[in-house]
Structure 1
Amino acid sequence: MRLTVDHVTRYQYDRPVRSVVQSHRLTPSTFAGQKVIDWEVTVSGGVKGATHRDGAGDRVQGWTVAGPVSEVEVRVRGTVETVDLTGVLRGHREAVAPGCYLRATGATRADVALIALAGRAEAAEPLELAHVLSAVVADAIAYRPGVTHAHTTAAEALALGEGVCQDHAHALIAVARVREIPARYVSGYLFATEDGSAHEAAHAWAELYVPGLGWVGFDPANRCCPDERYIRLGSGFDAQDAAPIRGVARGGGREEMDVTVAILNQSQSQSQSQ
């Protein structure tokens, strides 16, 4: 697929702030399953800072906006060519050992209920176990927007029995780590499904490390492995660590954020117009 992305994040402050400093993971990962055709990130009034590729292989770009400023707009526009690798992250260069992703965070720490959920998964070999763990999470947490928030933990989402893609990813990471499987959070985009299945255009899923295959993606929210509809941005221990935009505004003031994301299948649009 050739997918185009138009992603706008707008920050508004109830009184002008002195400056805004941000760190972005907004450039798609480089691996066999996706190729960037063109990609541009702009920040209103922003000045580019240092850029580097972290140990997980993700590009991190710094930005600074000098104040006083009451609104900052981050816009991402670009096109990515994707290939279905059945979830396998083939050809992705990184330096971090998979074992470091056995460490729990506040969002992914397993409580008694998550430990019990992990124990329900029975499988003969690692890949099968990873698939079963994803399925038990999907069964335990129904997809329902609006019942959880950005700081909801995996344990809280399981107790509610409802949540969104972030909650599914956190829960899968938690149960995988209980079973001694390295697991991490992935942020990215998902193109709309033709059958109307529930999803979010700005999306999240989990990757589990399977010996012999490497990192394999699992999306419990949609009961599948990432395919050509997915664009992978970056990864981390949890949602906060893998956030596409992290930053701080200096000078006080209440911040409000609004996000809009549009994903288009460019090849399909071209064929329809011919």
Structure 2
Amino acid sequence: MRADIRHLTEYRYAEPAWDSFNEVRLSPEVSARQDLRSFHLVVRPEASLVTTHRDYFGSLIHHVHVHERHQVLRIEAQALVDTRPLAPLEAAPFSALDNLRGEFTEFLVSSPRVPSGRWPQVFGVQGPQPHEDLSAFMVGLTTQLHRQFSYSPGATSVGTTLEQFARDQRGVCQDYTHAMLGICRTLGIPARYVSGYLYSGGEMIGADATHAWIEALIPGHGWIGFDPTNDMLAGEKHIKIGHGRDYPDVSPVRGTYYGGGGEATLNVEVRVYADPPGGSSG
């Protein structure tokens, strides 16, 4: 599938701000499952300096500095991405992870937003036996959490803790993902947080902003994406930006500024088209 992505982040300030420094993670990754045909970052007012580097997990970060005074800051990312469907997910015994866990400790231990806890018990999940199929367990867990949680925008915020979400189990894709990470890691399944986009055609949840899902290590397959918000594997309609331990590792835009007269008003608009508007490009 070819996806044309338009992601606009707009900050409005009550008073002029200046020396705005922003860290932008919006460039989709290049991998065996997706190709990045083009990426453009447009900043208004025009940035006085834009530099890039890759973070510890391999995500491309743009550092944007706007020196002049401004009351509106617009950061628009435009990307054209080709994705490929997943290969069929075959059986893999849970015990096959025994020889792999030492290589992926960072995705098994606690992280700031996914602390250690009895998360399988908290969310009513029974872990697999060593001989049981890990692939089937992960598919079943995705379905269980999708049915158990209630998708409720506004019920949580980017700062909501996993403990808070566990109390009423109402939230958004970020909360679903942190909960599934906590369950997997407690059970000894290496799992990481993925930030990206979702093409839905109006059919799926979470397509009006950056979307979140998990990737779990499945022996014989590598890292496979599972989307509990939509009860599905992450396939060609999921466009990945990057991954980390939890949300703060891959937050799309964050930064600092001087002035502004208090907290800025934030507006985010995301559009993902299955075909580029106006015909093919790239």
- The match for 1:84 is 85
Other-structure match for 1:13: 13
Following superposition, the deviation at residue 119 of structure 1 comes to 4.2
Give the aligned residue type for 2:17. V
- Indicate how the Cα distance of structure 1 residues 257 and 211 shifts in structure 2: closer, same or farther if over 3 A, else same: same
Gaps of 5+ in 2: 90-102
2:199 to 183, 191, 205: 191
The Cα of 1:188 is off from its aligned counterpart by: 0.8
CA contact (8 A) 2:216 2:224 kept: yes
Match of 1:254 in 2: 263
Pair 64,118 (structure 1): closer, same or farther in 2 beyond 3 Å = farther
Contact 1:138 1:220 survives alignment (8 Å): yes
The SS at the match of 2:176 is: helix
Q: For residue 240 of structure 1, what is the aligned residue in structure 2? A: 248
SS at match of 1:222: coil
Superposition TM-score, scaled by structure 1 size: 0.86
- 8 A Cα contact 1:28 1:233, kept in partner: yes
CA contact (8 A) 2:20 2:67 kept: yes
The amino acid that maps onto 1:2 is R
Gaps of 5+ in 1: 89-96
In the other structure, the counterpart of 1:91 is none
Paired residues for 1:1-150 under 5 Å: 1-44=1-44, 45-85=46-86, 97-112=103-118, 114-117=120-123, 119-122=125-128, 124-150=132-158
Q: Which one-letter code corresponds to 2:3 in the other structure? A: L
SS in 2 for 1:120: coil
| Residues 49-101 of structure 1: per-residue CA shift (max 9 Å, x gap) | 3312233221112111113222110001121111112599xxxxxxxx52211
Rounded Cα–Cα distance in structure 1 between residues aligned with 2:201 and 2:275: 14
Q: Is the 8 A contact 2:106 2:245 kept in 1?
A: no
Q: 1:62 to 1:211 in 2, by over 3 A?
A: same
Structure 1 consecutive aligned stretches of length 4 or more whose deviation exceeds 6 Å: none
Residues 237 and 250 (structure 1 numbering): CA distance in 2 closer, same or farther, change over 3 Å? farther
SS of match in other structure, 2:141: helix
1:263 corresponds to 2:272: yes
Superposition RMSD in Å: 2.4
